[in-house]
């Protein structure tokens, strides 16, 4: 059996321009510049823990001219190791980041949230692996922070999910907390039994950072643990609740009793 999240039934109230800009930057950087460089170029843009903590210099071994290590804290986020890598990260941004941007606002705070949480994941990986000479690349830390923030704000929001079992294909509304619990189980498994070249610790550190920082970055009227927009485990799209994350409720209009003998436009 397999499942594929298609979209979340959690409307946003404004266009996520900054989310689109981040996604466009990653695409333009990867396909317009990074992929045209030699494979060793990833050593220039990726974060290498040993450069910061052990004085490692890849220029002697690989003949490259890496960027200053501080700059790589940013370039590592927009660089990727392959097509499926960038596709997976941007897919998560497509699913979640519009609502996070809506909760924080279309301004510098959203960019700061992304950079800070991504940097925390990168730095945490470096502190845990100070002698590593393997470059770290990808937007996964930022995506994981979005997951952490989403869990606190809309754990019961439903994600329309395509479920396949042999010749059985159906879409169901699956609560976000269940989707993310499955994801977190995989991250913890990879962290405890690392295989391949996936930095699972970055995902965990950034997710925790997203959960810890979203209370300080979200707009004041945005509530935690909001009600779902649709019914869980159903196949329909009928709304069960309309969230108000993007707009503040207007105060009720003043009701005037024509029989009270007072003129509401006069001031004492």
**Is residue 57 a part of any domain in this protein?**
yes
**Is residue 250 a part of any domain in this protein?**
no
Contact 124, 96 (CB under 8 A): no
What pTM, to 2 d.p., does this model score?
0.86
Q: What are 238-266's pLDDT values in tens digits?
A: 555 445 555 444 444 444 444 444 443 44
Domain CATH number, residue 45: 1.20.1540.10
Average pLDDT over residues 35-58: 90
Q: Which residue has the higher pLDDT, 255 or 159?
A: 159
pLDDT of residue 236: 64
pLDDT of residue 202: 97
**Is residue 8 a part of any domain in this protein?**
no
Contacts 24+ apart (CB under 8 A), 83-90: 85/137, 85/138, 86/26, 86/27, 86/30, 86/138, 86/139, 89/26, 89/138, 89/139, 89/140, 89/143, 90/23, 90/26, 90/27, 90/139
**Is residue 251 a part of any domain in this protein?**
no
**Is residue 178 a part of any domain in this protein?**
yes
**Is residue 239 a part of any domain in this protein?**
no
**Is residue 19 a part of any domain in this protein?**
yes
- Number of domains the chain contains: 1
The pLDDT-based confidence of 237 (bands split at 50, 70, 90) is low
* Domain of residue 25, residue span: 14-217
Average pLDDT over residues 63-92: 94
Q: What are 179-224's pLDDT values in tens digits?
A: 999 999 999 999 998 888 899 999 999 999 999 999 999 999 999 9
**Is residue 113 a part of any domain in this protein?**
yes
């Amino acid at each position: 059996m397999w499942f594929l999240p298609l979209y979340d039934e959690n409307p946003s109230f404004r266009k996520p321009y900054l989310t689109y800009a981040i996604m466009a930057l990653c695409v333009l950087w990867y396909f317009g510049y990074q992929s045209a460089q030699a494979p060793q170029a990833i050593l220039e843009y990726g974060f290498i823990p040993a450069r910061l903590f052990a004085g490692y210099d890849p220029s002697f071994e690989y003949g490259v001219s890496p960027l200053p290590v501080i700059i790589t804290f940013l370039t590592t986020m927009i660089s990727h190791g392959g097509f499926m890598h960038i596709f997976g990260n941007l897919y998560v941004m497509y699913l979640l980041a519009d609502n996070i941007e809506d909760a924080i606002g279309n301004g510098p705070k959203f960019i700061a949230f992304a950079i800070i949480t991504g940097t925390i994941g990168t730095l945490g990986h470096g502190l845990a692996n100070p002698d590593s000479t393997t470059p770290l690349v990808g937007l996964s830390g930022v995506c994981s922070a979005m997951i952490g923030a989403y869990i606190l704000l809309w754990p019961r929001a439903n994600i329309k999910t395509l479920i396949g079992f042999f010749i059985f294909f159906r879409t169901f509304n699956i609560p976000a907390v269940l989707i993310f619990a499955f994801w977190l189980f995989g991250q913890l498994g990879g962290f405890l039994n690392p295989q391949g070249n996936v930095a699972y610790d970055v995902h965990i550190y950034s997710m925790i950072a997203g959960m810890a920082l979203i209370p300080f970055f979200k707009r004041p009227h945005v509530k935690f643990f909001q009600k779902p927009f649709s019914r869980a485990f159903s196949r329909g799209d009928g709304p069960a609740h309309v969230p108000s994350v993007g707009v503040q409720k207007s105060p009720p209009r003043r009701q005037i009793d024509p029989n009270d003998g007072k003129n509401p436009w006069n001031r004492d």
